[in-house]
Chains A and B, each alone.
Chain A
Amino acid sequence: MPEPREGQERFVAPIDETPLRAIDAVDVDAVPENQWKEAWKRLRVSPLFWLAAAIITFIGVMIFFPTLFTSADPTRGSLDDSFAPARDGHPFGFTRQGYDLWARTVYGARASVAVGVLTAIFTALLGMITGAIAGYYGGIVDTLISRISDIFFSIPLLLACIVVISVINNTWPNRGFWGSVLVVVVALALFAWPQITRQMRGAVLEVKNLEFVDAATAIGATKMTNLRRHIVPNSLAPVIVATTITLGIFIVAESSLSFLGLGLPQNVVSWGNDLSDAQNQVRSGQHLQVMYLPAIALGMTVLGFILLGEAVREALDPKARKK
Chain B
Amino acid sequence: MTETQGAQTPLLKIEDLSVAFRAGKEYLTAVDQANLTIYPGQTIAIVGESGSGKSTMAHAVIDLLPGSGQVTGGQILFEGTDIAKTGRDQILALRGSSIGLVPQDPMSNLNPLWKVGRQIKEALVANDVAHGADADRRVVELLEEAGLPDAERRARQYPHEFSGGMRQRALIAMGLAARPKLLIADEPTSALDVTVQKQILDHLDTLTDSLGVAVMLITHDLGLAAERADHLVVMYRGRVVESGPALEILQDPQHPYTQRLVSKAPSIASQRLSSVKARAEIRAQAVEHAAEVAAEVAGSGEEFGEGSNDILVVENLTKVFQLRGSKPWEKTDFTAVDDVSFGLQRGTTTAIVGESGSGKSTVARMVLDLLPITSGRVLFDGVDIKDLGSKKLQLRFRRQMQPVFQNPYASLDPLYSIYQSIEEPLRTHDVGTKKERETKVRDLLDKVSLPTTVMSRYPGELSGGQRQRVAIARALALDPEVVICDEAVSALDVLVQAQILELLNDLQAELGLSYLFITHDLAVVRQIADNVLVMQEGKVVEQASVNEVFDNPREAYTRKLLDAIPGGSIPLASS
Which residues does A use to contact B, with CB under 8 Å?
A: 1-2, 4-13, 15, 17-18, 20-21, 23-24, 26, 28, 30, 32-36, 38, 210-212, 214-221, 225, 229-230, 233-234, 321-323
Q: Are the CB atoms of A218 and B402 closer together than 8 Å?
A: yes
Closest residue to A225 on the B side, CB-wise?
B428
Q: Are the CB atoms of A11 and B415 closer together than 8 Å?
A: no
Q: Is the interface of B mostly helix, strand, loop or mixed?
A: mixed
Residue in A12, A15, A218, A321 with the greatest tally of chain B CB atoms within 10 Å: A218
Say which one of B187-195, B278-286, B308-316, B454-462 lies at the interface with A: B454-462
Chain B residues closer than 8 Å to A4, beta-carbon distance: 231, 244-245
A-B pairs, top 5 by smallest CB distance, nearest first, are A7-B37, A10-B244, A220-B398, A211-B405, A211-B411
Closest residue to B37 on the A side, CB-wise?
A7
Closest residue to A20 on the B side, CB-wise?
B256
Of A7, A28, A32, the contact of B458 (CB 8 Å cutoff): A32
Which residues does B use to contact A, with CB under 8 Å?
A: 3, 8, 10, 13, 35, 37, 39, 44, 231, 236-237, 239-245, 247-249, 254-257, 260, 365, 368-370, 394-395, 398-399, 401-403, 405-407, 409-417, 424-425, 428-429, 450-451, 453-454, 456-458, 460-463, 465-466, 471, 474, 478, 495-496, 499
Q: Are the CB atoms of B453 and A230 closer together than 8 Å?
A: no
A218-B402, A219-B402 known; A26 vs B451 contact (CB < 8 Å): yes
Of B244, B257, B401, B460, the contact of A33 (CB 8 Å cutoff): B460
Q: Are the CB atoms of A15 and B411 closer together than 8 Å?
A: no
Bound-state CA distance A214–B368 (Å) is 10
Q: Are the CB atoms of B428 and A33 closer together than 8 Å?
A: no
A-B contact pairs, 6 of them (CB 8 A): A7-B37, A12-B255, A21-B237, A214-B370, A219-B474, A230-B416
A8-B244, A13-B240, A218-B398 known; A35 vs B414 contact (CB < 8 Å): yes
Chain B residues closer than 8 Å to A38, beta-carbon distance: 460
Q: Are the CB atoms of A218 and B368 closer together than 8 Å?
A: yes
Chain A residues closer than 8 Å to B260, beta-carbon distance: 20, 23
Q: How far is the CB of A12 from chain B (nearest CB, A)?
A: 4
Q: Are the CB atoms of B231 and A23 closer together than 8 Å?
A: no
Q: Are the CB atoms of A219 and B398 closer together than 8 Å?
A: yes
Q: How far is the CB of A235 from chain B (nearest CB, A)?
A: 11
Chain B residues closer than 8 Å to A1, beta-carbon distance: 245, 247-248
Chain A residues closer than 8 Å to B257, beta-carbon distance: 18, 20
Q: Are the CB atoms of B236 and A210 closer together than 8 Å?
A: no
Closest residue to B409 on the A side, CB-wise?
A323
Bound-state CA distance A28–B445 (Å) is 14
Bound-state CA distance A35–B414 (Å) is 7
Of A30, A36, A215, the contact of B411 (CB 8 Å cutoff): A215
Chain A residues closer than 8 Å to B13, beta-carbon distance: 7
Q: Are the CB atoms of A215 and B405 closer together than 8 Å?
A: yes
Bound-state CA distance A246–B413 (Å) is 29
Closest residue to B369 on the A side, CB-wise?
A218
Chain A residues closer than 8 Å to B471, beta-carbon distance: 215
Bound-state CA distance A233–B425 (Å) is 18
A24-B465, A220-B398, A220-B428 known; A11 vs B456 contact (CB < 8 Å): no
Bound-state CA distance A24–B454 (Å) is 14
Q: Are the CB atoms of B466 and A230 closer together than 8 Å?
A: no
Of B425, B429, B450, B460, the contact of A35 (CB 8 Å cutoff): B460
Of A17, A23, A32, the contact of B499 (CB 8 Å cutoff): A23
Q: Are the CB atoms of B454 and A26 closer together than 8 Å?
A: yes
Chain A residues closer than 8 Å to B237, beta-carbon distance: 18, 21
Bound-state CA distance A167–B570 (Å) is 85
Q: How far is the CB of B406 from chain A (nearest CB, A)?
A: 7
A212-B412, A214-B403, A220-B428 known; A34 vs B417 contact (CB < 8 Å): yes
Q: How far is the CB of B329 from chain A (nearest CB, A)?
A: 16
Known A34-B414, A216-B413, A233-B415; 14 more pairs at CB < 8 Å: A1-B245, A2-B3, A8-B37, A11-B244, A17-B239, A24-B466, A30-B457, A34-B417, A34-B458, A218-B398, A218-B401, A220-B395, A220-B428, A234-B414
Bound-state CA distance A36–B415 (Å) is 8
Q: Are the CB atoms of B254 and A12 closer together than 8 Å?
A: yes
Q: Are the CB atoms of B239 and A13 closer together than 8 Å?
A: yes
Q: Are the CB atoms of B428 and A221 closer together than 8 Å?
A: yes
Bound-state CA distance A12–B405 (Å) is 39
Q: Are the CB atoms of A220 and B256 closer together than 8 Å?
A: no
Chain A residues closer than 8 Å to B466, beta-carbon distance: 24, 26
Closest residue to A2 on the B side, CB-wise?
B3
Q: Are the CB atoms of A32 and B457 closer together than 8 Å?
A: yes
Q: How far is the CB of A32 from chain B (nearest CB, A)?
A: 4
Q: Are the CB atoms of B402 and A12 closer together than 8 Å?
A: no
Closest residue to B237 on the A side, CB-wise?
A18
Q: Are the CB atoms of A5 and B460 closer together than 8 Å?
A: no
A1-B247, A7-B10 known; A220 vs B429 contact (CB < 8 Å): yes
Bound-state CA distance A219–B431 (Å) is 13
Bound-state CA distance A17–B499 (Å) is 25
Chain B residues closer than 8 Å to A18, beta-carbon distance: 236-237, 239, 241, 257
Chain A residues closer than 8 Å to B239, beta-carbon distance: 13, 17-18
Chain B residues closer than 8 Å to A215, beta-carbon distance: 403, 405, 411-412, 471, 474
Of B236, B245, B370, B456, the contact of A218 (CB 8 Å cutoff): B370
Chain A residues closer than 8 Å to B236, beta-carbon distance: 18
Q: Are the CB atoms of A234 and B242 closer together than 8 Å?
A: no
Bound-state CA distance A13–B249 (Å) is 13
Chain A residues closer than 8 Å to B425, beta-carbon distance: 219-220
Bound-state CA distance A233–B420 (Å) is 14
Closest residue to B256 on the A side, CB-wise?
A20
Chain A residues closer than 8 Å to B370, beta-carbon distance: 214, 217-218
Bound-state CA distance A7–B75 (Å) is 14
Q: Are the CB atoms of A11 and B243 closer together than 8 Å?
A: yes
Chain B residues closer than 8 Å to A218, beta-carbon distance: 368-370, 398, 401-403
Chain B residues closer than 8 Å to A225, beta-carbon distance: 428
Q: Are the CB atoms of A219 and B428 closer together than 8 Å?
A: yes
Q: Are the CB atoms of A24 and B496 closer together than 8 Å?
A: yes
Q: Are the CB atoms of A33 and B458 closer together than 8 Å?
A: yes
Closest residue to B421 on the A side, CB-wise?
A212
Residue in B240, B260, B453, B461 with the greatest tally of chain A CB atoms within 10 Å: B461
